[in-house]
Amino acid sequence: MEQSRGSSSRLRFLLAVLLFELVSAAAAITRDDFPEGFVFGAGSSAYQEDVRLMHEMGLDAYRFSISWSRLIPDGRGAVNPKGLEYYNNLIDELLKHGIQPHTTIYHFDLPQALQDEYNGLLNPRVMFLHPLVYGDYPPVMKRNAGSKLPALTAEESARVRGSFDFVGVNQYGAIYVADDPSQLKRELRDYSADEATKYVTQPFESSRHQLGQEFKQRGLGLRNDDAPWALRKLLEHLQTKYANPPVVIYENGAGHEPDPSGGLLYDDEFRSRFLQVYIEAALQSIRNGSNVRSYFVWSFMDLFEYIFAYQFQFGLIGVDYGAEGRTRYARSSARWYAGFLHGGELRMVAPDGSRASS
């Protein structure tokens, strides 16, 4: 009996030491642990005067979107010189500060002329990832979507196969769904019904959901809870199913609802913790063989969000929308990210010497 208790004590001690070593190793991550040439950046909409803040933060790269309808209003042909000047000036300022420009050429603003000509995203010229790797859509997609999905000719299949340079990923959390084949019985259905699922949670719902439990506290406000395991599973899926393509994580961030009274948010430790667990997940995937090349925070500063307008903000840099000059101010997450990019540890060290946990 004494020998058994002694063995159990030693086992608990060894497990505790192992757990401490694993936590310590995770906490001590720096950007030097990433492969040579790995790019850290952030994305948003910005002006030339914001580039200095990017440089001070230590960004390797900055991602922004080119408004197609602003630059080429008719979709093709004549270029708007004022729009061209704006983007040229921004790119020149980025290069002057040693920051790589990463541009999104299409970001939900298809010129009306092309919408009318091609019927938008319903045109066969729009492809998904599967055809780019295998030359055709997956069987389940063809079965569920039926005639709504264009059939690729042999020539088209050959032309699209391998016709991409990298896969861009936007990751904000996890959405839980349940199997619902009854969706396929609907006479009129859109692409979401073709998925044959029902949503258990909605994007950016306010409360965390645990599998096997009832979903509670709906509708308490906007929030995206971290789910770094979802990023790891996605990267593993790309690695095993799609021949491990180069991956750029172009959007990853935590949002908050602004104070309705107009108060400014300076302390956003929740955002720092969110980014930490995702950066750690990206590194774990790289160590497991995933071909991740870059990581970008969304967003560099507060902006008009495509879905939420000004009701949900993601910025490392806050914007005082009540000030005439839209004053910028650094949140605690901006200082943390700058520290990490300048060689600091992933987890912040508290005054007592302990590190923040996920």
Euclidean distance between the first and the last CA atom of the chain, given in angstroms as a whole number: 39
Let me know if 268 is exposed, middle or buried by CB neighbors in 10 A (0-12, 13-18, 19+). buried
From the centroid of its chain, how far is CA 13?
Answer: 39
Dist. CA 165–CA 13, nearest whole Å: 49
Question: CB within 8 A of 306, min separation 6: which ones?
Answer: 107, 108
CB–CB of 254/300 below 8 Å?
no
Instruction: Say which DSSP state 187 is in.
Output: S
| The one-letter amino acid at 354 | S
| The one-letter amino acid at 313 | Q
| The one-letter amino acid at 217 | Q
CB–CB of 30/344 below 8 Å?
yes
CB–CB of 204/312 below 8 Å?
yes
Residue 251 annotated as catalytic = yes
Dihedral sign (CA 176, 182, 183, 184): positive
- Which helix or strand (DSSP H or E) is residue 68 part of? helix 68-71
Dist. CA 97–CA 48, nearest whole Å: 11
Q: Which of 251, 257, 305, 345 is catalytic?
A: 251
Catalytic residue IDs: 251
